[in-house]
Amino acid sequence: MTLEGIHFWPEVLTALSLKLNNPLFRQWINLTTAKYNGAQNCVIVLVPNSFIRDHMMGNMSDLKKIIDDIMCKNTDIEIVVDKNSTTTTSSDFLDAEIELEKRPLIKKNKSNFIPRFTFENFIVGSNNQFAHAACLSVAARPSKSYNPLFIFGSSGLGKTHLLQAIGNYVSEYLENTKVLYITGERFLNEYIKAIRTKTTDVFRKKFREDFDVLLIDDIQFIAGKGQSQEELFHAISSAHENNKQIVIASDKFPDEIEGLDARLKTRFASGLVCDVKVPEIETRLAIINNKATELNITISPESATKIAELFSSSVRELEGAITSIGAYSSFANTSITPDFIEEIYHSKQLSNKDKKQVDINYIIKKVCQHYHISELDLLGSNRNKDFVLPRHIAVYIAKKISNKSLSDLAKIFKRKNHSTIIHASEKIEELQKKDVNLKTEIDHLITDIKKI
């Protein structure tokens, strides 16, 4: 069998990324290559991991149409995970389990990182598997895979946990590898202090030379802070030139961080950017069981499901809820049952933490802006699909993140009754299952709305 590399692959990727207007997807597909098997008239797409393969499979019809158009014929397409690739971008992206198995046996001294924030304690689900695998890859081989690595996502979804897990791993298992963790806020404060005490040379040495792996958490704090952004840019550039690993966490995608230096955005985009999302119910259940074991609390499967249903938007709040439920049950000397959980939840002790009073008008405004339609059209009854989809999305988001009752929502959205709200919301849930890009788009909208 003879295989030829296909020279127009970049053209296919450009067309695909235009079609699937999703910045993350664009990053991932750039890690792919392709070959053409003339005898079988088959394009073989080589991808670095099963995660990217699944995403490409989900967009197979678009991919096929683009390839057929460019090749001017009907071709078969095969998507294969390329474990043997020698390019750094693909071969370094091994499965998490393999990395853990390959861990050296020597264990160094205890590290300064938060002990429970380890890879072992991190539950992997479809919401975070890409970020987790990238962090593990970077921890096992600093500066030999993705550099810089940029992780973003809303609060409470595990970014700090992942950064600290890299710190724990490197400081425990890699000889002669110095790892430094700093938050954006502390970087700023240390810089201000260095100026005040005229010790900027010490500051620069610390952040340009004295480490092999630099972990910068919550980088959004630096945005708009002129001089310290400049310092950070030089620190990152010099680290990069000296082959030192940089990992960054932020609440937003680099391009969306207001006031962030354009040079920093470009620098981040040159590495790998991946996100952590809200976990699916299965992942939430696994997190609940883990936390319950850690706290020595017995939670039945029914009760665990109840908690997972009630707390869906942040792992931090999910963990807080389990701790509170454990405390209440021991205080009241009763066992944890779904009814007991519901009772506590409705006593507002817990519910307010998870579902804040979100302004529905703000949701409507944001969705209208995103889809370029007027509020009158969103709240009207025109069945044109340009209005129906945004209308359903706004209802879905409002139902998901506000604590308004269904009949309140029906009134606000000028719908007939609560079943119209349920119907619209279920429709979007179904669509998201079939269309991962729509899901990403809605996740971004929710993140954006929750920022206020």
Number of residues that bind Mg ion (CB under 5 A): 2
Query: Is the CB of 245 or the CB of 313 nearer to ligand ADP?
Result: 313
User: Cα separation of 203 and 222, whole Å?
Assistant: 16
- Of 158 and 390, nearer to ligand ADP (C-beta) is 158
What is the nearest approach in angstroms of Mg ion to the Cβ of residue 437? 27
DSSP line for 281-329: HHHHHHHHHHHHHHHT----HHHHHHHHHH--S-HHHHHHHHHHHHHHH
Give rounded-to-5 percent helix, strand, coil for the chain: 55, 10, 35
Q: Which residues pair with 272 in a beta bridge?
A: 149
By CB under 6 A, tell whether 90 contacts ligand ADP: no
What interhelical angle do 184-196 and 226-241 show, nearest 10? 110
Six-digit token pair at 199? 């010790």
DSSP 380: S
Nearer to ligand ADP, 9 or 268 (CB): 268
Residues 101-160 that bind ligand ADP (CB under 6 A): 117, 121-123, 128, 153, 155-160
Selection from Mg ion, ligand ADP, none that 143 binds (CB < 5 to 8 A by kind) is: none
Q: Which is nearer to ligand ADP, 64 or 316 (CB)?
A: 316
Q: Which of residues 5-64 bind ligand ADP (CB under 6 A)?
A: none
Alpha helices in 36-183, H assignment, sequence order: 50-58, 60-71, 88-91, 96-101, 129-140, 159-173
Q: How far apart are CA 162 and CA 219, in angstroms?
A: 15
Tokens of 113: 């990182």
3-class SS string, 75-102: CEEEEEECCCCCCHHHHCCCCHHHHHHC
Residues 299-318 that bind ligand ADP (CB under 6 A): 315-316
Closer by beta carbon to Mg ion, 99 or else 218: 218
Closest CA relative to residue 263, chosen from 294, 298, 236, 242:
236
Counting residues that bind ligand ADP (by CB under 6 A) gives: 17
Q: How far is the CB of 287 from ligand ADP (least distance, A)?
A: 5
Residue number with the shortest CB distance to Mg ion?
160
d(CA 295, CA 323): 8
Q: Does 161 bind ligand ADP (CB under 6 A)?
A: yes
Taking the least distance from each CB to Mg ion, the nearer of 32 and 160 is 160
Helices (H), 177-261: 184-196, 200-208, 226-241
Q: What is the DSSP-derived secondary structure letter of residue 49?
A: S
Nearer to ligand ADP, 172 or 218 (CB): 218
Closest CB to Mg ion among 64 and 316? Answer: 316
Site string for ligand ADP, 364-403 (x = CB under 6 A): ----------------------------------------
CB of 156 to ligand ADP, least distance (A): 5
Residue nearest to ligand ADP (CB): 158
| 373, interface contact from ligand ADP, Mg ion, none, CB < 5-8 Å by kind | none
Q: What binding mask, one character per residue, do residues 156-185 give for Mg ion by CB under 5 A, x or -?
A: ---xx-------------------------
**CB neighbours of 322 closer than 8 A, spacing ≥ 6?**
288, 291, 292, 295, 297, 299, 307
Q: Which does 391 bind (CB under 5 to 8 A by kind): Mg ion, ligand ADP, none?
A: none
123 interface partner picked from Mg ion, ligand ADP, none, CB below 5 to 8 A per type: ligand ADP
3-state secondary structure of 27: helix
Least separation in angstroms between residue 121's CB and ligand ADP is: 6
Nearer CB in complex with Mg ion: 219/360:
219
Least spacing, CB of residue 151 vs Mg ion, in Å: 10
Parallel, antiparallel or unpaired: strands 76-81 and 3-5: unpaired
Contact positions toward ligand ADP, by CB under 6 A?
A: 117, 121-123, 128, 153, 155-161, 287, 315-316, 319
